[in-house]
């Protein structure tokens, strides 16, 4: 299935019994990498990211039949990925039985444990700074900074007003700037 097919063609193929798998595979090929990096920025760990991505793809498969196309396919899949990632983070917090303050240290330790970690490189300081933010600010910052998602699309994805998202991004950017200056 051609990666350059538009979402309507992919969905049409999915809804046709004879081409259902090809339609789904085309959707996965088109969006899997974007979803992977969206999840990875929140989780850091490749293994955790792959686990969550697999759960997301199963939910997409199960939900595509009922996808009403009220939103773009991309937005719908990002919403699933975001919710699954946040659910995973919550489960990890409960499993570790740590306070929210300690949680940021756990993810900071995951960044530092990466075999390519070099604290002198700005990219690693940026990752540590992002992991020090509250979850919502991490999510908003990642969507805006890395995915370059417009606020109106983010608003639809997160069911939050554009003004609140702009404020959240602004606060996150300021905290990151302060963190990097301190480091």
Burial class of 165 by CB neighbour count within 10 A (0 to 12, 13 to 18, 19+): buried
Q: What is the DSSP string of 69-127?
A: -SS-HHHHHHHHHHHHHHHHHHHHHHHHT--HHHHHHHHHHHHHHSTT--TTSHHHHHH
* Same domain for 102 and 92: no
Give the per-residue pLDDT at 70. 82
Q: What is the pLDDT of residues 5-19, one digit of tens each?
A: 899 999 999 999 999
User: Averaged over 91-110, what is the pLDDT?
Assistant: 57
CATH number of the domain where residue 88 is located:
1.10.1740.10
Domain closes at, from 42, 64, 97: 97
pLDDT for 46 beyond 60: yes
pLDDT for 117 beyond 70: no
Decide if 6 contacts 14 (C-beta within 8 A): no
pLDDT for 109 beyond 70: no
Q: What is the pTM of this model?
A: 0.70
Share of the chain above pLDDT 70, in %: 82
Number of compact structural domains in the chain: 2
Task: Tell me how far the alpha carbon of residue 28 is from its chain's centroid.
Answer: 15
Q: Which domain holds residue 102?
A: 98-183
Decide if 59 contacts 80 (C-beta within 8 A): yes
Contacts with 27 (C-beta within 8 Å, 6 or more apart), sequence order: 7, 10, 11, 14, 60, 64, 73
* Same domain for 63 and 112: no
The C-alpha atoms of residue 112 and residue 127 are separated, in whole angstroms, by: 10
Q: What is the pLDDT of residues 147-163, one digit of tens each?
A: 888 999 899 888 899 99
* Residue bearing tokens 């789904």: 24
Decide if 1 contacts 13 (C-beta within 8 A): yes
* Same domain for 90 and 28: yes
Residue 90 — very low, low, confident or very high, per pLDDT cuts 50/70/90? confident
Residue 108 — very low, low, confident or very high, per pLDDT cuts 50/70/90? low
pLDDT for 99 beyond 50: no
**More confident of the two residues 70 and 122:** 70
Decide if 16 contacts 23 (C-beta within 8 A): yes
């Amino acid at each position: 299935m051609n990666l350059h097919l538009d979402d309507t063609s992919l969905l049409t193929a999915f809804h046709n019994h004879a081409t259902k798998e090809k339609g789904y595979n085309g959707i996965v090929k088109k969006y899997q990498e974007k979803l992977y990096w969206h999840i990875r920025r929140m989780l850091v760990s490749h293994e955790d990211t792959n686990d969550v991505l697999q759960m997301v793809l199963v939910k997409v498969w199960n939900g595509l039949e009922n996808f009403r196309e009220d939103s773009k396919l991309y937005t719908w899949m990002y919403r699933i990925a975001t919710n699954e990632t946040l659910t995973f983070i919550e489960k990890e917090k409960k499993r570790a039985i740590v306070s929210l303050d300690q949680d940021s240290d756990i993810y900071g330790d995951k960044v530092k444990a990466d075999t390519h970690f070099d604290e002198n490189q700005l990219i690693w300081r940026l990752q540590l700074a992002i992991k020090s933010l509250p979850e919502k600010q991490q999510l908003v910052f990642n969507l805006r900074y890395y995915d370059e998602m417009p606020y109106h699309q983010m608003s639809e994805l997160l069911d939050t007003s554009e003004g609140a998202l702009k404020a959240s991004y602004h606060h996150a950017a300021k905290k990151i700037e302060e963190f990097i200056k301190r480091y």
